[in-house]
Structure 1
């Protein structure tokens, strides 16, 4: 590299930018690793990291932990849209997420903001790419439902370090305290478990499907355990069961659920969500287990379908439209604060929206 009085990390930035501009580092492709750049340029990893971080903030690069640092494709439309918001959910065909989006749209339209919407499909690499696309489009802020596998991702923490306005919905991130609007999942499963205990159940299991790495799921497990311990249940009486619907057929899942429930003489189940509750309902039909005579079941979400089952499901209702609306309003406030350079721009708001236990016919007194 050329000798000059510039700080070393600036020289590294210019070197990387030169290679981006001349096509050596191509759009959408990964650049050499920090270790490789450090060895080739004879500078410390810390210097390389600082240079890369600034290029990430400037929108030239984006990082996906475990995959590398990529060159952003500048051919994407980069018109600045200061009244434009990026919304990144996981699967908007899902009933819950579509209602969150409806709430976000209502809040933003009231304030004259428009939306660009993207899906991540629970893929943190796609999430990182879409975050950088939205930044490059010049959105004023983002509302993000984090992908479930976040342990190796830093795209969202980069936004926080940059002080870019954003709000999370439905899930917190471990190790990255930031603004979030979500349901009070701990209280929700506490109420569900308490309902079964009040009805005389002593063998109560919490059943979930494969994911256990989001704050939402961790909170629901915490609520179940809290209720059990509050009523004097011992550790060995706390029954947690998980199945992986991506590695087993439905018949295999039903057999495993049946075996677990019968061997442990379970009379009450708190399901992670209504999807898991439906698996339990289907298994019960196949195995001639009567709900609620033989088994009481409580779900979580209050999806439309569970109201119309042969035995309507007792479940915990969330209010996704309200969550989306609150998130939209919170983001607008953050943008306004940042634009006015107010001192409280770094205050973190974590809003936990109340849930409600909807009692139907799938539970009974013992």
Structure 2
């Protein structure tokens, strides 16, 4: 009981001291009170005692707290204490991330990298799905500008070679980073994997195993810098090993989204070129279709047909044939894009930067020495 009385007396003393300071105008409305640590030292009491005194003052409306900031003097009414409505902490400035798709592992890893870096820097994230539509991408960019976002990271849609809204933001020096691919002719900040180098390394791996007849499968190339660079890397690897570039081995107008036509096209391609011993595909969607069609045709992967493609897919570790793939290190890519944007937002006078990061070849079971196909 004695201790309780003593503690009560101590925290009441602290309360009366602070009330006196406010009444004598030594502390004015919205002035910050000493911290709990400072009051603990000043009165030689425990932190619990100080917390109790401060909690009572808050309940009485004499002071108010702002989370993470401290405790402040409330506005006083005549003859009574008027409760000061809590001041809401300022919201973190928002950054918009525009993606053509959000339903695959590749983009999930990008989002995770972007969000982790922005959160660490004190920014919130607005995620926008452009549904791989240039028109929607332009509309979303305008909407984000109207919402006064602090900056934007844009992953351009497939086939996009020009975007007037991105050009407009670039000319206005709006904080903007283009991610994963770049737009030729628009001098904007970008963070991309080195698609040329990644494709070259992948094809070099196939050549090192002894393959000479290597097919190239992609969606429509025109306007998509990442696919254009992958084709150039494929051809560069062949040329450096003095392997003729046979355009018949290129199938470059396959559109995802309609499984039956894709499978029919791949079946026709493999049937017309039984001499092919390896395929380089530009993404896992096409790569998985190759595995399915080859199985239906009695072609074994990798014994009869080696396969390599860009990016991994979910649960690939449990697939019947674990694919060899070129990792774009998406999490790191997202972090670097966000890091560059934060740097631009906080130091807007810096010059335009284009950052390219080397992808990583992950060798697994879908590639081996040429078999007996054909």
Structure 1 and Structure 2 fold alike (TM over 0.5) = yes
1:256 CA displacement? 3.0
Which residue of structure 1 lines up, in the alignment, with residue 357 of structure 2? 353
**1:156-167 superposed matches below 5 A:** 156-167=166-177
Match of 2:203 among 193, 199, 204: 193
Q: Does 1:102 align with 2:112?
A: yes
Which residue of structure 2 lines up, in the alignment, with residue 250 of structure 1? 259
Partner SS, residue 150 of structure 2: strand
Q: Is the 8 A contact 1:274 1:306 kept in 2?
A: no
> What are the superposed Cα offsets for residues 140-186 of structure 1, whole Å, 9 maximum, x if unpaired?
11111112243453110100011111101111001112111111111
Which residue of structure 1 lines up, in the alignment, with residue 281 of structure 2? 271
Counterparts of 1:321 and 1:165 in 2: how far apart (Å)?
A: 21
Partner SS, residue 139 of structure 1: coil
Which residue of structure 1 lines up, in the alignment, with residue 295 of structure 2? 285
- Following TM superposition, where does structure 1 have runs of at least 4 consecutive aligned residues deviating by more than 4 angstroms? none
Structure 1: tracts of 5 or more residues without a match: 1-79
Match of 1:259 among 261, 264, 268: 268
Counterparts of 2:345 and 2:264 in 1: how far apart (Å)?
A: 52
1:219 CA displacement? 1.1
Q: Structure 2-normalised TM-score? A: 0.71
Q: Is the 8 A contact 1:90 1:122 kept in 2?
A: yes
Q: Is the 8 A contact 1:302 1:318 kept in 2?
A: no
Partner SS, residue 262 of structure 2: helix
Which residue of structure 2 lines up, in the alignment, with residue 39 of structure 1? none
1:132 CA displacement? 1.1
> What are the superposed Cα offsets for residues 219-255 of structure 1, whole Å, 9 maximum, x if unpaired?
11111011011100223377211343469x5344334
Q: Is the 8 A contact 1:203 1:237 kept in 2?
A: no
Q: Does 1:297 align with 2:301?
A: no
Q: Over the residues paired in the alignment, what is the CA RMSD in angstroms? A: 2.0
Partner SS, residue 164 of structure 1: coil
Match of 1:84 among 84, 94, 111: 94
1:125 CA displacement? 1.1
Counterparts of 2:142 and 2:211 in 1: how far apart (Å)?
A: 50
Counterparts of 2:260 and 2:132 in 1: how far apart (Å)?
A: 25
Counterparts of 2:104 and 2:221 in 1: how far apart (Å)?
A: 17
Counterparts of 2:227 and 2:247 in 1: how far apart (Å)?
A: 20
Which residue of structure 2 lines up, in the alignment, with residue 215 of structure 1? 225
Q: 1:181/1:246 Cα in 2 relative to 1: closer, same or farther (>3 Å)?
A: closer
Q: Structure 1-normalised TM-score? A: 0.72
Q: Does 1:118 align with 2:128?
A: yes
1:95 CA displacement? 1.4
Which residue of structure 2 lines up, in the alignment, with residue 43 of structure 1? none
**1:152-191 superposed matches below 5 A:** 153-191=163-201
1:363 CA displacement? 1.2
> What are the superposed Cα offsets for residues 45-103 of structure 1, whole Å, 9 maximum, x if unpaired?
xxxxxxxxxxxxxxxxxxxxxxxxxxxxxxxxxxx978221211122222111211111
Q: Is the 8 A contact 1:178 1:349 kept in 2?
A: yes
Counterparts of 1:139 and 1:252 in 2: how far apart (Å)?
A: 41
Q: Is the 8 A contact 2:219 2:256 kept in 1?
A: no
Counterparts of 2:356 and 2:160 in 1: how far apart (Å)?
A: 21
Q: 1:263/1:351 Cα in 2 relative to 1: closer, same or farther (>3 Å)?
A: same
Q: 1:243/1:289 Cα in 2 relative to 1: closer, same or farther (>3 Å)?
A: farther
Counterparts of 1:233 and 1:168 in 2: how far apart (Å)?
A: 35
Counterparts of 2:140 and 2:91 in 1: how far apart (Å)?
A: 16
Match of 1:334 among 344, 347, 351: 344
Match of 2:234 among 224, 235, 240: 224
Q: Does 1:205 align with 2:209?
A: no
Which residue of structure 1 lines up, in the alignment, with residue 368 of structure 2? 364
Q: Is the 8 A contact 2:93 2:122 kept in 1?
A: yes
